[in-house]
A and B are shown apart, each in its own frame.
Chain A
Amino acid sequence: GNSVTQMEGPVTLSEEAFLTINCTYTATGYPSLFWYVQYPGEGLQLLLKATKADDKGSNKGFEATYRKETTSFHLEKGSVQVSDSAVYFCALFYGGSEKLVFGKGTKLTVNP
């Protein structure tokens, strides 16, 4: 079946450090891929997306590239800020089901 595996963390970094959160997926066909972010006390919000192989999604300095050959969608940011502290979820959407499949989330804490 369709599934998402992401690095569980927690991840603790100092401000301005480089961030990578790994995400791999298993899916039939060609899913769309997403990263969602959840700030403390809030619901999830879409951070970035990619809908086909080699697409790069980007937003707020975060990037992720849809790699079909490695079935991966790793999230990266070159220089994290304290305000990036949140839980990050990788997810896939497969057409026809109208459902998202989420990874378990990775908690990021950025210290000043």
Chain B
Amino acid sequence: DAGITQSPRHKVTETGTPVTLRCHQTENHRYMYWYRQDPGHGLRLIHYSYGVKDTDKGEVSDGYSVSRSKTEDFLLTLESATSSQTSVYFCAISVQTSGASYNEQFFGPGTRLTVL
């Protein structure tokens, strides 16, 4: 499982409240990602990080912010949760294989977030 954990695994919150999801890795990989998974949309990238304090937006970044103050943790924050942010959120890390032309992504178990 590449040592990726996500917390919490389930959360129910109310519209307008702030929510922070945590992704933790144990192997000090440089790249980390946050995706959301919704029926009919597959996985969509929210934000990603390529190092401590280095982050960039993905295709659905509005309403989300991220922080990475140390290599092992990547936090996703919903500043003011809305019902449209009800989703399953996956964290991933990218592992580069020596000599390969690609990086393999490994995924965490997911966080199911419900915004009422």
User: In whole angstroms, what is the CA distance A46 to B93 when docked?
Assistant: 13
- Establish whether residues A32 and B101, one from each chain, have CB atoms under 8 Å apart when the complex forms: yes
Residues of A within 8 A of B92 (CB): 44
Residues of B within 8 A of A51 (CB): 100-102
Looking across the interface, which residue of chain B has its beta carbon closest to that of A94?
A: B102
Q: Which chain B residues numbered 75 to 116 have a C-beta less than 8 Å away from chain A?
A: 90, 92, 94, 100-110
Closest-CB distance, B20 to chain A (whole angstroms): 20
Residues of A within 8 A of B48 (CB): 98-99
- Establish whether residues B40 and A104, one from each chain, have CB atoms under 8 Å apart when the complex forms: yes
Q: How many A-B residue pairs have CB under 8 A?
A: 53
Looking across the interface, which residue of chain A has its beta carbon closest to that of B6?
A: A43
Residues of B within 8 A of A46 (CB): 104-106
**Within 8 Å of chain B (Cβ to Cβ): is A95?**
yes
Contact string, A2-30, partner B, CB cutoff 8 A, digits 1/0? 00000010000000000000000000000
- Establish whether residues A43 and B108, one from each chain, have CB atoms under 8 Å apart when the complex forms: yes
**Within 8 Å of chain B (Cβ to Cβ): is A45?**
yes
- Establish whether residues A100 and B105, one from each chain, have CB atoms under 8 Å apart when the complex forms: yes
Given known contacts A32-B101, A103-B42, A104-B40, what 15 new A-B pairs fall within 8 Å (CB)?
A8-B40, A34-B102, A43-B109, A44-B92, A44-B105, A49-B102, A49-B104, A51-B101, A51-B102, A93-B102, A93-B103, A100-B45, A102-B43, A104-B42, A105-B42
**Within 8 Å of chain A (Cβ to Cβ): is B70?**
no
- Establish whether residues B107 and A45, one from each chain, have CB atoms under 8 Å apart when the complex forms: yes
Residues of B within 8 A of A105 (CB): 42-43
- Establish whether residues B43 and A44, one from each chain, have CB atoms under 8 Å apart when the complex forms: yes
- Establish whether residues B107 and A102, one from each chain, have CB atoms under 8 Å apart when the complex forms: no
Closest-CB distance, A70 to chain B (whole angstroms): 21
- Establish whether residues B90 and A32, one from each chain, have CB atoms under 8 Å apart when the complex forms: no
Contact string, A64-82, partner B, CB cutoff 8 A, digits 1/0? 0000000000000000000
Residues of B within 8 A of A52 (CB): 101
Q: Which of A45, A98, A102 has the most CB of B within 10 A?
A: A98
**Within 8 Å of chain B (Cβ to Cβ): is A89?**
yes
